[in-house]
Amino acid sequence: MGDHFEKGQRALLNEGEENEMDEFQTYSWKKVMWIYLSALNSAFALTRDHSLITDEQCIINRALRKTDLKVRCIKVQKIRYVWDNLEGQFQKIGSLEAWLTSAKIHLKFGSGLTKEEQDIRRLICGPNTIDVEITPIWKLLIKEVLNPFYIFQLFSVCLWFSEDYKEYAFAIIIMSVISIALTVYDLREQSVKLHRLVESHNSITVSVCGRKTGVQELESRFLVPGDLLILTGNKVKMPCDAILIDGSCVVDEGMLTGESIPVTKMPLPKMDSSVPWKMQSEGDYKRHILFCGTEVIQAKGASSGNVRAVVLQTGFNTAKGDLVRSILYPKPMNFKLYRDAIRFLLCLVGIATIGMIYTLCVYVRSRELPEEVVKKALDVITIAVPPALPAALTTGIIYAQRRLKKRGIFCISPQRINVCGQLNLVCFDKTGTLTRDGLDLWGVLPCSKNGFQEVHSFASGRALPWGPLCAAMASCHSLILIDGTIQGDPLDIKMFEATAWEMDISGADFHLKGVPAHAVVVKPCKTASQVPVEGIAILHQFPFSSTLQRMTVIVQEMGGDRLAFMKGAPERVASFCQPETVPTSFVSELQIYTTQGFRVIALAYKKLELDHHIMALMRDKVESDLIFLGLLILENRLKEETKPVLEELISARIRTVMITGDNLQTAITVARKSGMVSESQKIILIEANEMTGSSSASISWKLVEEKKHLGCGNQDNYINIKKEVPNNDREGSYHFALSGKSFQVISQHFSSLLPKILINGTIFARMSPGQKSSLVEEFQKLDYFVGMCGDGANDCGALKMAHVGISLSEQEASVASPFTSQTPNIECVPHLIKEGRAALVTSFCMFKYMALYSMIQYVGVLLLYWETNTLSNYQFLFQDLAITTLIGVTMNLNGAYPKLVPFRPAGRLISPPLLLSVVLNVLLSLSMHIVGFILVQRQPWYSVEMHSACPVKNDSISKLTIPTTVPEKLGNISAFTSFENTTIWFLGTINCIIVALIFSKGKPFRQPTYTNYIFVLVLIIQLGVCLFILFADIPELYRRLDLLCTPVLWRVYIVVMLSSNFIVSLIVEEAIIENQALWMIIKRCFGYQSKSQYRIWQRVLANDPSWPPLNQTSYSGMPSCGRGVSYSNPVFESNEEQL
């Protein structure tokens, strides 16, 4: 197809509007390509009057230039866009038009496409492939080597070779080669893994029905939007997104949702309506879509016998394509540490520039050779800007990643570990995350004309008596039988198993009027008694939808009636029942169980006429005038680890928020039991309702009453409301609870109230997957660092949206989450935060140390340049390799501190405490070096013509006055040797060890330094070796290191200067830099206040006596509830619609 493209002009595409891009790269240049349809003329006569290109409603035809039959297109992040001549902008191609109605889909695509239509669509939309090439090693190598960091290293190495500084140059080369090799290996492994994840997608054979050609086998890469797929057999992988138009399917969507629970897909009904098919479908339109990458476990044809589906989207436009794109183009982490690091490096470059000018002045005045002057000047850059600095910043992250791996927490985005250290809000899914996965059937509460009967407990072992309630439990589910095993939702399985019935599939010999072949049939087991029916055949399902909160089945009793059974949220089911059949104590009984944390499901039924064809029955006709049967009570217990983990997070002042699809009252109870909301805190229920007719959207605020059963509200769970209002409900003493419906209304009609609500919003129930993502995004807009922990079921979007996503599922969907825990409980969350804090502090420690080490060398070298001297290669090598490299490798080995403290480490490198620490230590080192440099020149034994000031017999310090020296001229001695050189080298080398000890932080974020045995041992050995060299009179050793022997007294002076520097530096670090109370006083004195949005709103609300507005109702037309957005902080946008 590439032959039909002509590379032409360049076009400017606003990617912020057309595609997911980060806020820093809104615009970019893209190559425009022309697609020529004239190339198809050889296949069939295509003219500008052809019927295929006269339909102006089709995006392909609107993109076609009729004069020369060509289409202008561009490609952005694997998605193809074509120029819409009518709209004057680029439009995404590769999917069916959104405006299509269900009737139009059935009419236009129900018989398939013609060969000509397929060819045109294939040419313009491109192949149906998700191509992720394995990046060649040479490309990865070039990309890594061209990193500015390695280019700077190459410059440094070349300079060192020219100065015969080979040893350290070779050491840097070896370290760089290892680093590059490991990075390339990791990138290659990720590329191979992703390629293997999608390669099977491109090699699937499918059956496609053409309008004139009939059914034929086709490779999936040739599929186009609008093709008619014929699904046959079981265990079929979907190669595209498709709309089911005939028959039903049971699908495993584990690849997308993270939970391998079979989902029943129903055909898109053919409705005479002008509304787009996504909007006219009652409930969730996704129940009609077979998503790419999912597996069709079972396909059942309707009367025609075939299961048919229309291709909706192909290639990277599909659900799987979107998942792969989110991995290929991850959300950019706007973390200030890395931007600050670049700024600090630029500051060091500025300091190096000053040093270069100083060097040029000194050496030009000394009439040195020009090439030597240039070398000395360039040397200053490699000293002031240490080449190992960027590598040193990542070592803490690498060690943290290893420690996390030992705890069963795997990370696919190591840079996010540092972000974990800044988390101050964590969102949790409820079911499977805070509570146990399995639901235990506690009992059933039957209903009769006189109200509720006694609870039937299944723990007693008694079978449930036969009746409509028993029949409902046996048949109102979406379970399927595969290879003799019952599969489906755990709730359905528990309910069905409680009846002790059996499941079977009707065979060819099964004949019952109205029952299709291969229907699911449930039968009482042989031991069951007093069951008047042989079995129940399930004729049709209206599957469960989280939007509708219910499911309905139509069944046929063998030799009995045709019935409809409904199961779902109690309040929803009750609304479809005849009012007289719902017990008057319904509200109070429901609350008795929901307040105890039980999950409650309601059941209802009705009789249907036998002469009605089941496919002709509309859902709204079936789901009306039902008879209420009773309540199914299931127990969903907290995981043992939940409460202590939440208590630990709350004590560390990390906000915890619950986002669940479950009942609001159950969510409130779990929040109470888990400690997310303490007993002393109040819960305020927020109810928001859409506009109805002439009335505006409304929002009301009511205080939830605990353990009393008064009237009922119109909300999803009939929560009791307290009438009196306490006076002490200020910030921190109350929490907001609301449903997904209310959240949606508030977002649309009360957007100015949304940030105020989110500041204390803790419980969000009945939230759809899209609403979960939106909520996480809204928290991010308030400048929270948001973590999301979920079990993978419906949490994919939120996991990707959060700063830190933690999946408790090991399904393929977890590949989109930065972190995956093998242990399926929330214990991983505090571990991750602790390791994140430790890694962040380690990065800061390492940064400070590397900056100080370079400044110490910089100061020492510039002082020696004054005397046109410098350190020798072996002296540099000892400092760079034996001291700094070993410290850099071992300083980061401290583990995370086991306790979470109620404050976070600084998130910025350029913060006052850190900058002050670096500046003060640089000044201390500078002072010490200058004092040493000046004092040594004023010693009575100092002479520039001598290479040793040691006495002939150095019996004791007391006998030392002006020593008798062995005069020897510098002719046979290195040009580097001088008393200044020796003094500066000892001061600088031992100071590097002292600084490492001072900057190696322990509590409160890392384990104490003494627990890092390797680091302490390295420091002791290094200090011991340095003191040995200082006090040992070994001429050969001094000659190798270009040192001069000095009197013992002077060596003691050196130790005294270093000890003084250590004591002052330690006092400064502990009494000023690490003094939290002092910095708080300074902040108050200068009136400093946090500029984070959530802090600003907290201060505003703390001074607002009218907040929260209890027992009030506001309307969208009121001035205080305007729709104006009151805050703005753009974050990454992503299309989560498909997941």
**Residues with a known catalytic role:** 429
Residue 616: CB partners within 8 Å, gap ≥ 6?
A: none
Nearest to 756 by CA among 222, 1126, 344: 1126
The pair of structure tokens assigned to 509 is 């010999």
The pair of structure tokens assigned to 652 is 């560390």
Residue 850 Cα distances to 345, 763, 1012, 1109, angstroms: 11, 46, 19, 54
Q: Residue 530 CB: number of other CB atoms within 10 A?
A: 8
Tell how strand 786-790 and strand 761-765 pair up: unpaired
CA 404 to chain centre: 17
Nearest to 82 by CA among 113, 57, 50, 60: 60
- Residue whose structure tokens are 């069905």: 496
Phi, psi of 601 (to 5 degrees): -120, 135
CB 688 within 8 A of CB 697: yes
Q: Distance between CA atoms of 672 and 740, rounded to whole angstroms?
A: 20
Q: Residue 1063 CB: number of other CB atoms within 10 A?
A: 11
- For 210, the 3-state DSSP assignment is strand
- 3-state secondary structure string across 96-163: CCCCCCHHHHHHHHCCCCCHHHHHHHHHHHCCCCCCCCCCCHHHHHHHHHCCHHHHHHHHHHHHHHHC
First to last CA, the chain: 31
Task: List 29's β-bridge partners, or say none.
Answer: 12
| Helices 586-594/664-674 angle, 10° precision | 30
Nearest to 889 by CA among 770, 1055, 1059, 1014: 1014
At residue 224, what is the residue type?
V
Nearest to 553 by CA among 571, 537, 569: 537
CB 662 within 8 A of CB 431: yes
Nearest to 475 by CA among 529, 540, 522: 522
Nearest to 77 by CA among 92, 87, 64: 92
Residue 1123: CB partners within 8 Å, gap ≥ 6?
A: 748, 749, 750, 751, 752, 1116
- Residue whose structure tokens are 């909520």: 775
CB 551 within 8 A of CB 573: no
Residue 876: CB partners within 8 Å, gap ≥ 6?
A: 165, 168, 857
Task: List 205's β-bridge partners, or say none.
Answer: 219
- What radius of gyration do the chain's Cα atoms show? 37
Phi, psi of 842 (to 5 degrees): -60, -40
Return the sign of the alpha-carbon dihedral for residues 1097, 1103, 1106, 1109.
positive
Q: Distance between CA atoms of 1080 and 163, rounded to whole angstroms?
A: 50
At residue 538, what is the residue type?
I
- DSSP letter string, 465-497: PSSHHHHHHHHSS--EEETTEEES-HHHHHHHH
Task: List 605's β-bridge partners, or say none.
Answer: 565, 627
Question: For the chain, what's the residue count?
Answer: 1139
**Element holding 116 (H helix, E strand):** helix 115-125
How many helices (H) and strands (E) in the chain? 35, 40
Tell how strand 289-290 and strand 425-428 pair up: unpaired
